[in-house]
Amino acid sequence: MTNMKKLFTICIFLLLVFYSCKKDKTENGIASEVTSEESIDKHIEDEEIPQIDVSELMNVMGGLMSGGATKDSTGQGMFLSNGQLNVDFLKSDAGKPMRKTFAQIAEVTLEEVDLSLTIMPDNDIVSVKHAQAIEEDLNNPKVEAYVKSGKASSNFLELITDARAEAKKRTANFKKLAQIEKEKFYKENPTWFALDESKEDTYIDSRNKMIYLPLGDASFADAVVEFIPGKPEGKTPEGALGPAQGSILLIDKDCVVMGIKGVLTLFFEDNVITNVNGPDIYVFEVGQIEPTHIEISKNGADWIDVGKIEGGTGSLDIHDSVKAGDTFNYIRLTDLDTYSGMPGADIDAVAAIGGALRMNLDSAVLFETGKYKLKDEGIKAIQELAVKMKDIKKGTITVEGHTDDVGSEATNKSLSLARAKSVSAELKKSITNTVFKWKEMGFGESKPLVENNSEENRAKNRRVEILILPN
Ligand SMILES: [Ca+2]
Ligand SMILES: [Ca+2]
What one-letter code names the amino acid at 179? Q
CA of residue 174 to ligand 1 center, whole Å: 24
CA of residue 420 to ligand 1 center, whole Å: 23
C-beta neighbour count of 49 within 10 angstroms:
6
CA of residue 278 to ligand 2 center, whole Å: 4
- The Cα-based distances of 278 to 25, 42, 185 in angstroms read 64, 68, 8
- The pLDDT, as a whole number, for residue 79 is 72
CA of residue 200 to ligand 1 center, whole Å: 13
Ligand closest to the CA atom of residue 192? 2
- pLDDT tens per residue, range 377-416: 999 999 999 998 888 888 999 999 999 999 999 999 999 9
- The pLDDT, as a whole number, for residue 14 is 59
% of residues, the chain, pLDDT over 90: 57
CA of residue 221 to ligand 1 center, whole Å: 5
Mean pLDDT along residues 1-17: 60
Q: Write down the CATH number for the domain with range 201-352.
A: 2.60.120.260
**CATH architecture for segment(s) 358-469:** 2-Layer Sandwich (3.30)
Domain ranges of the chain: 3-172, 201-352, 358-469
C-beta neighbour count of 385 within 10 angstroms:
18
pLDDT band at 106 (very low <50, low <70, confident <90, very high): confident
- The Cα-based distances of 118 to 71, 85, 114, 115, 321 in angstroms read 20, 16, 7, 5, 49
CA of residue 295 to ligand 2 center, whole Å: 14
CA of residue 183 to ligand 1 center, whole Å: 23
CA of residue 230 to ligand 2 center, whole Å: 29
CA of residue 92 to ligand 1 center, whole Å: 31
CA of residue 453 to ligand 1 center, whole Å: 26
* Residues whose beta carbons lie less than 5 angstroms from ion ligand 2: 275, 280, 317, 319
- The pLDDT, as a whole number, for residue 26 is 42
CA of residue 329 to ligand 1 center, whole Å: 10
Ligand closest to the CA atom of residue 213? 1
CA of residue 217 to ligand 1 center, whole Å: 7
- pLDDT tens per residue, range 338-357: 655 666 788 999 999 988 99
Q: Measure the CA–CA gap between 94 and 227, rounded to whole angstroms.
A: 35
Mean pLDDT along residues 37-57: 43
Ligand closest to the CA atom of residue 315? 2
Ligand closest to the CA atom of residue 216? 1
User: Collapsing DSSP states into helix, strand and coil, what is residue 157?
Assistant: helix
Q: What is the mean pLDDT of the chain?
A: 84
Ligand closest to the CA atom of residue 221? 1
Ligand closest to the CA atom of residue 278? 2
Which long-range contacts link 432-439 to residues 24+ away (Cβ below 8 Å)? 433/393, 433/394, 435/393, 435/394, 436/394, 436/395, 436/396, 436/397, 437/395, 437/396, 437/397, 438/396, 438/397, 438/398, 438/399, 439/396, 439/397, 439/398, 439/399
CA of residue 270 to ligand 1 center, whole Å: 5
